[in-house]
Amino acid sequence: MLIFLRVLLTGLLGVVRDEAAAFGRVRLMGGDNECSGRVEVLRHDQWGTVCDHGWDLREADVVCLELDCGLAESALHGAAFGAGRGEIWLRHVQCSGHESSLTRCAAVLHSNFHCTHDNDAGVKCSGTLLTPALTLLSPHTVFSPGEAVRFSCSVPLGHHLRDFHLYKHGVSTPLVTQRADQTQTRVELTLSDIETVHQGSYSCRYRIKSGFPSQLLSSPPSNYINITVVELLTPQHWYNTSTEAPAGSVIKGQSFNITCSTLQQYPGGSFQLRLIRSNGTVRQSLPALTPSATFTFPNAQTSNEGYYYCLYRVQLGGRIFVSRESQPLPIAIRDPDPLLSPVMISWLVSGLTFIVAVIIIIIVAKVVCNKEKKPSELERETRTCVENNYVALSINKL
């Protein structure tokens, strides 16, 4: 029974390839433009029409693609573009959607089906492949590395589709591909585990089957959507204080400062300085007007002792992004050494200066005194002569 029905259906459809070779071109007549109108086919050098029995979007798509008119917007019945003349060459056309021409589809050439020019088939084509629309399903346009970005690509006509592609502007190969069935009008395209290289503008395209399965047509690109990928580097930090303070320490009462710095910046960012101490946490903030910011402490006290951490914070696209904290910077506050206090140092300097001055005065005075007591050569000779005479006189009297 099944074999009999198959034979009957084959005879009814009259799929004879030799007959198809007798057909020529396909044209549209009576429409508003070259991509809409009554479907006519050429056979034996005579133009004839197509009966609308079984006529739907599959057949209309084949006609539109064959005429380079994009996709079929509608498959029309009942001589919507006026009744034709001449023969009705094709009845009950059945296309799979892969045919390169309407004349390659299965059809009934001669049958008892009642069909007049009041049943002439027509099509209305899009003219070109319609431009798809790209929308962002994710609630924001700014992301951190490792997150996923969800897009939606849609087209008004969903029949005859093959697949959808997501492109980044400036990159020729698609980043995401999603297969679609012939009735699907929208697909979700997800860009997973993004990195900073994914920052940029995105669009989507779709492809349709045209003619034989190996032939695919690509649509124009959709609108563009820009996304930003924020990657915050871990800040660097260091501190400065007086040179007499031991490493990792600040002398109580003296000033010190901590500088936070980062290479990666965004508009409106700020540096955060966090101090963790035994009795709690203290936070400070400075705007990141330059690649670094300095936190100043003019009078070091015990409350300034603890572990300091730097981080970078910025708000973009309604989201707040915070970098990783820097390595801890331990700072201890030490009492000043009495022997090395500024007052003691001043006294020591004054005392040493006084002692040195006294020593210098004594040395100079001694040198001057010795110079005055030392007799000259003439004085020594005169004194010797006088003394000798005195001795001689003394002897004579005796």
Are 69 and 126 contacting, i.e. CB atoms less than 8 angstroms apart?
A: yes
Q: What is the biggest distance separating any 2 CA atoms in the chain, rounded to whole angstroms?
A: 197
**In CATH, what number does 236-336 get?**
2.60.40.10
Tell me: the pLDDT tens digits for 247-302?
999 999 999 999 999 987 788 899 999 999 988 999 999 999 999 999 999 999 99
Neighbour count for residue 151 (Cβ, 10 Å): 24
Tell me: the pLDDT tens digits for 71-81?
888 999 999 99
Tell me: the pLDDT tens digits for 49-68?
999 998 998 899 889 888 88
- Structure-model confidence comparison of residues 12 and 149, the more confident one: 149
Could you tell me whether strands 142-143 and 225-229 are parallel, antiparallel, or unpaired per DSSP bridges? parallel
Half-sphere exposure of 232 (CA within 13 A, CB side): 27
Task: Kindly report the three-state secondary structure assignment for every residue of the chain.
Answer: CHHHHHHHHHHHHCCCHHHHCCEEEEEEEECCCCCEEEEEEEECCEEEEEECCCCCHHHHHHHHHHCCCCCEEEEECCCCCCCCCCCEEEEEEECCCCCCCHHHCEEECCCCCCCCHHHECEEEECCCCCCCEEEECCCCCEECCCCCEEEEEECCCCCCEEEEEEEECCCCCCCEEEECCCCCCEEEEEECCCCHHHCEEEEEEEEEECCCCCCEEECCCCCCEEEEECCCCCCEEEEECCCCCCCCEEECCCCEEEEEECCCCCCCCEEEEEEEECCEEEEEEEECCCCEEEEEECCCCHHHCEEEEEEEEEEECCEEEECCCCCCEEEEEECCCHHHCHHHHHHHHHHHHHHHHHHHHHHHHHHHHHHHHCCCHHHHHHHHHHHHHHHHHHHHHC
Residues contacting 239, CB < 8 A, separation 6+ = 250, 256, 257, 258, 259, 308, 329, 331
Average pLDDT estimate for 154-159: 78
pLDDT at 396: 43
pLDDT at 66: 87
Q: Write down the residue that tokens 């698609």 correspond to.
A: 174
pTM of the model: 0.63
Give start-end residues of each CATH 2.60.40.10 domain in the chain. Answer: 133-229, 236-336
Neighbour count for residue 154 (Cβ, 10 Å): 17
Residues contacting 97, CB < 8 A, separation 6+ = 58, 61, 62, 160, 182, 209
User: Does position 385 have pLDDT exceeding 50, yes or no?
Assistant: no
Dihedral, CA of residue 207, residue 211, residue 214 and residue 217, to nearest 10 = -20
Neighbour count for residue 63 (Cβ, 10 Å): 28
Residue 339's pLDDT band (cuts 50, 70, 90): low
pLDDT at 1: 43
pLDDT at 342: 60
133-229: in CATH 3.60.15.10 = no
Query: Which two tokens mark 393?
Result: 């006189």
Query: Which two tokens mark 103?
Result: 């004349």
Please classify residue 333 by burial: count the beta carbons closer than 10 Å to its beta carbon, then call 0-12 exposed, 13-18 middle and 19+ buried.
buried
Are 364 and 345 contacting, i.e. CB atoms less than 8 angstroms apart?
A: no
Query: Which two tokens mark 257?
Result: 């400062």
pLDDT at 112: 57
User: Does position 317 have pLDDT exceeding 80, yes or no?
Assistant: yes
> How many whole angstroms separate alpha carbon 69 and alpha carbon 388?
153
User: Does position 12 have pLDDT exceeding 90, yes or no?
Assistant: no
Report the topology of domain 2-125: Mac-2 Binding Protein (3.10.250)
Give start-end residues of each CATH 3.10.250.10 domain in the chain. Answer: 2-125
Tell me: the pLDDT tens digits for 200-249?
999 999 988 765 445 677 889 999 999 999 999 999 999 999 988 899 99
> How many whole angstroms separate alpha carbon 76 and alpha carbon 52?
8
Average pLDDT estimate for 366-377: 65
